Structure 1
Amino acid sequence: MVKKIISSLNAFGLFTTLQIFLFPCINMGLFKINKKSYRSAVRHFVKKAISKTVEKYKNKSSYDESYISDISPIWFCWWQGEKNMPDIARLCYKELEKNKGSHSIIFICKDNYQKYVQLPAIFEERLRLNQISITHFTDVLRFALLREHGGIWLDSAILVLNPLKLKNLSFYTNKNIPKDDLYISNYRWTGGVLASSKNVAIINFVYDSYIEYWTKYKMIIDFMLMDYIIDIAYEEIPQIKKEIDDVPFSNEDFYTLKSIFNQKCDIILIEQIKKTSNLLSLNRRLKYSIYNEEKHLTYYGYFLEK
């Protein structure tokens, strides 16, 4: 935490550091963040940081949007390349190939992304100087690809159970009924599941916001910058609110296996999940085993061997 505060002082100055990292701590004890106050402070900062983009889209009255095509590409990215994917990403890629339907898959990595999109130089510079992480660079990349080509972006830890059917939508994301305050999105969208046609307001807005933000700053204010940007767009820009509100609830069990994927497999549960969900969210940071300590097949083992 101390290191983060020092980095923030260097990147954002004293006032912002006090507002975001220290003031919310006053009533919570030293270095314990009051989540509500912290999020409010970050949101205020991000809104100011992207203010020109917000005003630009507030004043835009017409959008030429088409529906997501049945043959639009699916974008799947592992920065270090297909041969260097960890086991969970390899599993998700295998299942995606089985369930891609009429869509083609385009594998994106550091060696080929420029074939599909040219990013402003500021992003390359931030990456070269280690001012933006690979994770947040690929956040920018997904919006650039969707903006220019349309298609479906699926993170490397999204398990596809059935082919996606995106009918009469210009924008799609995983959307669930809110159940807690764990996510800034309040379950209205999922950054790892994004689909759109070209020239969709929400995609263009986030991309332009990234350009404005990273032109001004050399450090990310919060790991969940994407969600703060979308949340601001939802509150400030009617067209984007409509695009998000028009997305139907789906994938009821999106998070069900995320914390138990290494546990004993329950085939009945899997069959139930397949009836409610086409996509599942997994944790790519965990190490997975085919069998648990009691030698029972795990959920990971089931999908790997089937």
Structure 2
Amino acid sequence: MLNSKVIRKLHAPVKIQRKFNKFRHDRIKRKLQSYLINADYHNETKSKENSKIIWVFWAQGYNSMPDLVANCIKTIQKNKGNARVILLTSENFDNYAKLPNYIINKFKNGTISPMFFSDVLRFNLLRNYGGLWLDATDFAIDTVSDDYFSGLCTVSGIPDNEHFFVAEGRWHTALFGGPKEHPLFQFMDNFFASFWKENDESVDYFMTDYALDYAYVNNIGNFKNYIELNRGKVDPNFVKLQLYLNRKFDYDKWKSLTKNTRIFKLTYKMKLNKKNNTFYRFIIKKNI
């Protein structure tokens, strides 16, 4: 059976991939349509306040982290600048989150996986407090400065010519922030509350991106305007460093990657080569 991943591996013409992926995306959008249409939000941001809080979540707790995750969090703490870092786990998230009991119960009984719960938690915290969400696999090499907290903030402009992802590189949820009660965060929080009240399974691995796509198309909270004005301006090499982690370190490549990027999205879902001459070894020695 053909699917998007198979077509991608076969290096089908981009035009065919885009057509196939559009069909796939449209099918998922139809499944979510009623929840998206009925997710309430206020057109105006109630508060311009954007708390200088960096939210980081690792459900399993900090004693069971892979080394890469532990190292990423160390770099965030080291480079927090004027911000406060709040580390969340399954044991303490409810000290901050304001979620319906049915969502909390579904997370605690395993119905909602940690991955999908992190999406719910992200936008609930941003709605109620503002700040900046960083994934636990984000690696900071320089200060998370005040400009990350000046309004909406996400990475935009990552190439996706095949339209494999519905986001098409227009945003990345691993780095997402803004002021509390922003209309976009209200919309996302209400969407999740509505969806998980009636469902026990996500419709897609990237369900969050389908909701954000709806927000983009409808310019909720000027989300589309923000994206179009900021493509490539926030950490443009955000996802590129992970491609080099096991490669032999090259200083010129390092300078190129870090010229205009302070935070990188890494992954622990790969076997890391920890030899002294790799990019991974270099960044650990330099930043930890």
Q: Which TM-score applies when normalising by structure 1? A: 0.80
Identity %: 25
Deviation at 1:228, TM superposition (A): 0.2
Counterpart for residue 4 of structure 2: none
Deviation at 1:148, TM superposition (A): 1.3
Distance verdict in 2 for CA 1:135–1:74, change over 3 Å: same
Write the distance in 2 (CA, Å) between the matches of 1:136 and 1:76: 15
Write the distance in 2 (CA, Å) between the matches of 1:34 and 1:299: 36
Give deviations 1:211-269, integer Å, cap 9, x for gaps: 11111211100010100000011112453333444545222222222222112111222
CA RMSD of aligned residues (A): 2.3
On the 8 A contact 1:178/1:187 being kept in 2, the answer is yes
Distance verdict in 2 for CA 1:102–1:211, change over 3 Å: same
User: Which of the residues 236, 241, 251 maps onto 2:224?
Assistant: 241
1:171-250 superposed matches below 5 A: 171-176=152-157, 178-180=159-161, 181-239=163-221, 240-247=223-230, 249-250=233-234
On the 8 A contact 1:75/1:153 being kept in 2, the answer is yes
Deviation at 1:179, TM superposition (A): 4.5
On the 8 A contact 2:246/2:280 being kept in 1, the answer is yes
Counterpart for residue 38 of structure 1: 24
Q: Which runs of 5+ in 1 are unaligned?
A: 2-27
Residue 152 (structure 1) aligned with residue 160 (structure 2):
no
Q: Which runs of 5+ in 2 are unaligned?
A: 2-11, 13-18
Residue 289 (structure 1) aligned with residue 270 (structure 2):
no
On the 8 A contact 1:262/1:289 being kept in 2, the answer is yes
Counterpart for residue 8 of structure 2: none
Give deviations 1:63-120, integer Å, cap 9, x for gaps: 2341535xx1111111111111111111111211221111121110011111112310
Count residues in correspondence.
266
Write the distance in 2 (CA, Å) between the matches of 1:255 and 1:184: 17
User: Which of the residues 229, 244, 247 maps onto 1:260?
Assistant: 244
Write the distance in 2 (CA, Å) between the matches of 1:182 and 1:284: 22
Q: Which moved more, 1:192-201 or 1:167-176?
A: 167-176
Give deviations 1:262-300, integer Å, cap 9, x for gaps: 121112221222212111121221121211xxxx52111
Residue 66 (structure 1) aligned with residue 52 (structure 2):
no
Residue 109 (structure 1) aligned with residue 93 (structure 2):
no
Write the distance in 1 (CA, Å) between the matches of 2:278 and 2:130: 36
Deviation at 1:129, TM superposition (A): 4.0
SS in 1 for 2:63: helix
Residue 91 (structure 1) aligned with residue 75 (structure 2):
no
Q: Which TM-score applies when normalising by structure 2? A: 0.85
Distance verdict in 2 for CA 1:152–1:61, change over 3 Å: closer
1:129-168 superposed matches below 5 A: 129-167=109-147
Question: More relative contact order in 1 or in 2 (CA 8 Å, sep 6+)?
Answer: 2
Distance verdict in 2 for CA 1:304–1:62, change over 3 Å: closer
Residue 47 (structure 1) aligned with residue 33 (structure 2):
yes
